[in-house]
Structure 1
């Protein structure tokens, strides 16, 4: 069974939270989770991120129960592309919203597999017995510089242009959506977050907090608190999806005791 926890915080510096998140735990047998981190002046960022979340969610409501991984990827990609087109058109018709956009990372998960679609630098991570691995690749200037060998991964974290995106939702008429899928098993945890977390808290620290014995809601709070303690210079959003190991009831009752 899948369990979820989510939390968002405006941070210590910003006055408006332009992050948006959504968790729908029962969508025809799937969990839908979305994080969007908006950008743009005149509060356009929060308009873009809210539109992205609402549009993607609405488009996926008719996904059939038992949809294959291939169909889920296709539907998720189409939903994100539709959201991009709608946001771009909305912004182009309104002077105050010109140039607005948002990141998005969205997943459709069941107990066997996870499908992901993303644009921008909001991230998905997988936590398992082997540690923590990033499942998405940032569409950002500093990531391109790292890949080209012009700066190190450590330098990227402090680069003055680390917030510059090379791809965002709603800023162009058409967009390329990155999609991926993987099989997961009981005991693994999925983390979705905005860069308000990943930009301030190291993977090692996130792993340590997720591996605490606390309830899932408390793990989410620990992650947000860690970003706040590190300065909280951006909005912070966290979604955790846990593939819970169900106890074997037959074993529990083997001794005849009622529990």
Structure 2
């Protein structure tokens, strides 16, 4: 049985531009953390559009009441995400830049799939290991951007940390996709940068499965950003 815990908070900001989705009612489970781009036009509209599109997909799937075919399901979800990207671009990018990061976890039987765009993350705790399954779509992670640059030069660059991909900022998008086999005891942790940027990874590894401790750690530094996370136990 899949169990989940979740939390989303505006932190010290006036508006929570994060949005989360979770549903485990049927033979397929879907989870999403979307982080609307702060400093841009209505990031909360972009993140909400993403989770609303997943919710609509899930409701339609429930109504069909059919046996899940995992490969077909993830293709369908990828199409939903591709379509909402185009929708956000068309609806909200006429008078300014509007977009959102997104990480999506899909689970069914003994399989999982992950979609991502931006710098929100999914971690996996398996046995003694704790690893990041997603890759941040940021400037410094493109090898062509940092050729012949020292670590100091990279970190001090004005481009450091800037997103190179997000949902809705361009008319087309190719999501990062990973698939894998589930093992008993796997724990997934989905979060936005408002969590991991304020908790050292060694500390996060110890407390990620404890919602209260995560909140305490982020609040300890004043919760400078919206922060949202979902814990999924398989």
RMSD value, Cα: 2.5
Cα distance 1:3–1:151, how it changes in 2: closer, same or farther (>3 A)?
A: farther
**1:115 positional shift:** 1.2
Which of 164, 182, 185 is residue 184 of structure 1 equivalent to? Answer: 182
Cα distance change, pair 184–15 in 1 and its aligned pair in 2 (3 A):
same
Question: In the alignment, which residue of structure 2 is the partner of 1:19?
Answer: 18
Equivalent in 163, 166, 182 of residue 165 of structure 1: 163
Instruction: State the alpha-carbon separation in 2 of the partners of residues 141 and 208 from structure 1.
Output: 29
Give me the whole-angstrom Cα distance separating, in 2, the residues matched to 1:159 and 1:201. 23
Note if contact 1:132-1:203 (Cα within 8 Å) is conserved in structure 2: no
- SS of 1:70's partner is helix
TM-score of the two chains, using structure 1 as the length reference: 0.79
Would you say the 8 A contact 2:137–2:163 is kept in 1? yes
How far the C-alpha of 1:163 sits from its partner, in A, is 4.3
Once the 2 structures are TM-superposed, how far is the Cα of residue 143 of structure 1 from its aligned partner?
2.6
State the distance in 2 between where 1:208 and 1:40 align.
Answer: 29
- Aligned pairs, number: 229
Match of 1:239 in 2: 230
1:221, distance to aligned residue in structure 2 (A):
2.4
Is 1:104 equivalent to 2:95 in the alignment?
A: no
Instruction: Write the distance in 1 (CA, Å) between the matches of 2:222 and 2:60.
Output: 41
The aligned counterpart of 1:10 is 10
**Following superposition of structure 1 onto structure 2, how do residues 52-63 of structure 1 map, counting pairs within 5 Å?**
52-63=50-61
Runs of 4+ in structure 1 over 6 Å off: none
Instruction: Note the residue ranges of structure 2 that are not aligned, 5 or more in a row.
Output: none
SS of the residue 2:169 aligns to:
coil
After alignment, is 61-70 or 170-179 more displaced?
Answer: 61-70
Task: Name the TM-score, length of structure 2 as normaliser.
Answer: 0.87
Correspondence list, 1:136-147, <5 A:
136-144=134-142
Q: 2:87: which partner in 1? A: 86
Deviations 1:187-230 (A, max 9, x none): 110000000112121222111113xxxxx6xx122222212223
Question: Helix, strand or coil for the counterpart of 1:61?
Answer: helix
Give the structure with higher Rg (CA). 1
1:222 aligned residue (193, 213, 217): 213
Quote how far apart the aligned CAs of 1:99 are. 0.9
